[in-house]
A and B are shown apart, each in its own frame.
Chain A
């Protein structure tokens, strides 16, 4: 099976150059990363990529807002939003996501970010540290899935309580978002075993040894300027069936078309598909 490619969206604001007075300036008002976000998402969609990922980036725009716009701008692409579990309650995350699923024909993914740098976490109002973060993430995903899939969902945990919850129809008519998780600690792997559809590894990780049963292997891949044939080799060697590509040269739009026009044909050819 050909590995699916998801391209990481640029959420940081890129300043646009001022035009000299001699050039008539009819550009619409600057909107930071939103100037290019729709185009990158559409580019990935046009070029046949499986999807795009709105990363959790303290220096960038919020991934859930970015995901809403990217879903609206695309037809086929899966749009995966990264967020940390302290950002919302699990019921609210489920409710907001249920609407995004309804609006997009079920194309939303989740990438809960558990292993935050402690200073970043505190700046986002999260004082939990260590293995407790994985315990909370487990409850978060259990509650979110519970209210999504059950009509009368009641839960009493360490972090969350729900009484007679449940989104019901039609809000939860689409599947629960596909869950991406990452990390190589025991807690991270156990969380994935319980909740992940895809576990993301970094180049050099021992995928075969670490991958939890029943979970697909994903690879976070910095693209750089490498030759497409070499990238194809690296993807095949990793054993990953899902790739989350990061365009390190900051030109995500070019990367979207490069993957679609040069890399995906190579992988399909090799796989005979």
Chain B
């Protein structure tokens, strides 16, 4: 068995370290001194853009052993479809895991964009299908569909997309459903026969798990305490018609020694700035977000108080955009924890750390080589 390890791209701009919250790479904090991509040269804009820096992160991940990267999508971030289309030629093997909410694109359009991107990249497109954080954020997007209905829509969306993908074999795909109507839809010659992107499915509610069972190649979960993850996986296994595969999204803070890693985290924690928002789409009626927060309710304010099991720390949402949990410690300890997750049935990871460029190289050089084919047995 091999494990697909992805490295996230910071669509919200990258920060220089966990100690400094402002995302100074990518134009999201243009007034902070030292901001770059775009930067200033001799008093003039230097012509670089966020895409130029994202390309550096993608190239670093590609060369460091990652199969690709997750491109997340929230109201305040750059857009993953735009980024993937832009960066296709900057990379060779890198897979673009594009996060998107089915409601915002018509499935015929999604099929056409996906097939075009598959052709442009040589089959390097992967989906992270999300059905929405909900609440005020859904209305920001102009989407009125309720939580459970959004999963019904996601299911119908993927049915239509797959029907269109194979429409040339059936004489055109026709569908009259609750959310979508199409008549005689197919991809044109030259865009047919390409692999349908793998589907990484996100969502923690029963409606999500049910929809995932029909459509997911992998069920993608944020990192949680391992007992809770094991329970969640068991529930997915119970509800899935076919044996599901699992992927976990985890922050990584790894250094030569445990002490170094915790020192780094302590300095970041002590100097942290108050959060002013919950990261846009992270909130709303998201069950995953509430689950993450509920584990931490009684943890207190001491940095080690948020270590809910050895090497598993739950305060990252205070230090950068994204979910709470990550793995902290020496390269060996972090690799052991990842091996334990593989033991729970995980065969794909989306890892991340800030700054995404330098940390991709560090994790690729020092942690990935320690992963063991057989959990519990050193490599």
- Residues of chain A whose beta carbon lies under 8 Å from any beta carbon of chain B: 12-13, 29, 31-34, 38, 58-62, 64-69, 71-73, 83, 86-92, 95-100, 102-105, 119, 122-127, 143, 160-168, 170-171, 173
Contact = CB atoms under 8 A, between A and B. Distances in A.
Contacts of B180: 125
A125 B107 contact: yes
Contact of A124 (B88, B119, B120, B185): B185
Given A62-B113, A69-B120, A92-B105, A123 B87 contact: no
Interface of B: 27-28, 30, 47, 49-51, 75-76, 78-79, 81-90, 103-109, 112-113, 115-117, 119-120, 122, 136, 139-144, 160, 172, 180-186, 188-191
A88 B109 contact: yes
Among all A-B residue pairs, the 10 with the closest Cβ atoms: A68-B85, A13-B190, A163-B139, A92-B104, A99-B82, A103-B51, A87-B109, A122-B183, A65-B116, A61-B116
Contacts of B103: 89
A82 B310 CA distance: 53
Nearest to A121: B183
A123 B109 contact: no
Given A59-B188, A96-B82, A102 B49 contact: yes
Nearest to B103: A89
Contacts of B119: 13, 31-34, 61
Contacts of B86: 68-69, 71-72, 100, 103
B100 to A, nearest CB: 9
Contact of B76 (A87, A127, A171): A171
B280 to A, nearest CB: 11
Contact of A95 (B27, B79, B160, B181): B79
A31 B117 CA distance: 10
Given A100-B86, A161-B144, A61 B191 contact: yes
B164 to A, nearest CB: 9
Contacts of B90: 72
A72 B89 contact: yes
A190 to B, nearest CB: 24
Residue of A161, A168, A171 ringed by the most chain B CB atoms within 10 A = A171
A32 B188 contact: no
A64 B113 contact: yes
Contact of B141 (A91, A124, A125): A91
Given A66-B85, A164-B140, 10 more contacts: A31-B119, A61-B116, A62-B109, A64-B85, A65-B117, A72-B86, A99-B79, A99-B83, A103-B83, A173-B27
A86 B184 CA distance: 16
Contacts of A97: 82
B106 to A, nearest CB: 5
A162 B140 contact: yes
A60 B192 CA distance: 11
A212 B109 CA distance: 31
B120 A34 contact: yes
Contact of A125 (B88, B106, B143, B190): B106
Contacts of B188: 12-13, 58-60
Contacts of B136: 163-164
Nearest to A38: B89
Contacts of A170: 27-28, 30
Nearest to A60: B188
A165 B140 contact: yes
B140 A89 contact: no
A5 B167 CA distance: 37
B231 to A, nearest CB: 35
